Amino acid sequence: MNSQMNEKMNPNSKILVVGSGGLVGSAIVRKLKELGYVNILTPKRNELNLVNQIEVRNYFLKNKIDYVFDAAAKVGGINANNTYPGEFIYENIMIQTNLIHEAYLSGVKKFLFLGSVCIYPKFAPVPVKENSLMTDHLEPTNDAYAVAKISGIKMLEAYHKQYGFKSTCLMPCNIYGPNDNFHPENGHVIPSMITKFHTQTDEVVFWGDGSPLREFIHCDDLADAIVFSMNNCLDDATLYNIGSGHNISIADLCKKIAAIVNYSGKIKWNTDMPNGTPNRPLDSSKFYSLGWKPKINLTDGIRDTYNWYCEKTYTQSR
């Protein structure tokens, strides 16, 4: 194992975190700073257009980066994925392709790639193991995003095979927390539920029938796992699942969030709309065996997320 590991980051390593303004990227930056890393680059969208190969190339040439955390992606919930598949597949493939290729060309020591549980087949055996990748059909409502992420994994495998480029691929379960997309229609399930329960008093409507089971991890737990993985995981593009180890139905999640938000109106389910994948818990045993475990339970994590949302809403309304 050690022969496949690269050197660990040191406090002065030049570290690039792309997507630093988003849910996962901002959590990674917080974790790196907490651990004493001081040389962190966090370019914003108006400073670096990741879809533009020339801009990405020039940025790597200028900054001499040691390590890359790729948390940049066009993301959204089931409605956004289903409505804008062309945007999801184009932007995500372009972003990761430019980053991986230019990181390799510029001599980056290791690349950390983030995917999503949606890369696995819709009816993969559960809990889902890493070897289920590409064994069956994807969930059609988010297959464009999934195909883009799968191409990133395969690109890193190819670059390791041909060039010896070092990387690790992490597949987290559903992520939530501060800096998420709280749009009531296009956001992920937890933040969109928070927004609906917070802003509506009489009735809220959700897609499907509430029966699908989902696994969630708080972004701060995931960031801890991501930084841990850069220093402790195999660097041959090995794929690792990262989950919380706990499943909950969408209906029960809905009740939990409604209670935290103190919503007392009606809850309805639009069964004419798709449920998505029925059940997709991850088998995270391979990653857990390295010595990492999640710390934040779902109730505390949702409460933390709701408090952040309320503070942000209050600040923006002033």
Question: Which active-site residues does the annotation give?
Answer: 145
Is 94 strand, coil or helix?
Answer: helix
Structure tokens given for 85: 């598949």
- Return the residue matching tokens 């857990």: 288
Amino acid 290 reads: L
Is 21 strand, coil or helix?
Answer: coil
Tell me 233's DSSP state. Answer: S
Is 148 strand, coil or helix?
Answer: helix
Tally of residues, the chain: 318
Q: For 113, list phi and psi in degrees, rounded to 5.
A: -110, 135
CA distance 149 to 286: 20
Do the beta carbons of residue 177 and residue 305 sit within 8 Å? yes
CA distance 49 to 53: 8
CA distance 240 to 61: 30
Residues 6 or more apart whose Cβ sits within 8 Å of residue 289 = none
Is 111 strand, coil or helix?
Answer: strand
Residues 6 or more apart whose Cβ sits within 8 Å of residue 120 = 128, 132, 133, 171, 280
DSSP β-bridge partners for residue 241? 171
CA distance 16 to 6: 17
CA distance 217 to 301: 8
Among positive and negative, which fits the CA dihedral 145, 150, 152, 153? positive
